[in-house]
Structure 1
């Protein structure tokens, strides 16, 4: 599994081209030949950038869902809505399709943030809001989500 690291600000051009930070470019370079998948996030107004390998792993999990169960079919449709294959050009830019820029409200100032095996792409203002909102209850959330995990591993 890939583990990306970092949060970086960058700029989007009018046509949706975004220059990837040099730190992420180094992390993405080993995967650039296969291309990347970009999609809408499930819970936030941002985009998710997958390496093709990570996307294929996700599709393997999703393909096991029974398509004759309506909620599974609805989930698959929504999860894959607007999915695009993108490539990083020689200068380290990716072209984000207009409909995905519109979904994430990406206009100029962009934040790219690692999220374990994917990179989230945010409008800077939306990213700051999401971080601020999460900060209010982060200690409680950390305890609830991770509280038993560490002690279980130490046993």
Structure 2
């Protein structure tokens, strides 16, 4: 698993192309040749950019689901809805297809935000609302999600 770090703001042009910031492009260098998968997020009004190696790992997990279960089939259909294989062009631009631009309400300013091994692509205003939202108490969330993890002697957990 390749960990991606950082949050980057950029502009999208009228054709849906976004120039990847140099520090992000550098982190994705090993993935440039294999390409990426771009999809709708399950929980947020944003897009998720998977390096192909990460997408393949996800597909291994999803392929283990029993397809004779309606819930599994419904999940697979919705999880893969709108999925596109995309590449970064020679100028370092990512073309975001129109249907995905619409899903994420992307206008002119976008944010690339690392999410461990994938990158979320947000409309800037929606991103700001999401991280500054009053609906989530981050301290409480951090305690609930990470508070009981103590599997290392590194002093962090």
Equivalent position of 2:28 in the other structure: 28
Equivalent position of 2:49 in the other structure: 49
Question: More helix per residue: 1 or 2?
Answer: 1
Q: SS state of the match for residue 54, structure 1? A: helix
Equivalent residues of 1:36, 1:52 under 8 A apart: yes
TM-score, normalised relative to structure 2: 0.95
Query: RMSD of the alignment, in Å?
Result: 1.4
Equivalent position of 2:152 in the other structure: 153
Q: SS state of the match for residue 148, structure 1? A: coil
Equivalent residues of 1:14, 1:107 under 8 A apart: no
Equivalent position of 2:89 in the other structure: 89
**Is 2:2 aligned against 1:19?**
no
Q: Which runs of 5+ in 1 are unaligned?
A: none
**Is 2:113 aligned against 1:113?**
yes
TM-score, normalised relative to structure 1: 0.96
Once the two structures are superposed, what CA deviation does each residue of 1:83-126 show, in whole Å capped at 9, x if it has no partner? Answer: 00000011110100000000000111000000000000000000
Count of residue pairs the alignment pairs up: 154
Q: Which runs of 5+ in 2 are unaligned?
A: none
**Aligned equivalents of 1:29 and 1:98: distance in 2?**
25
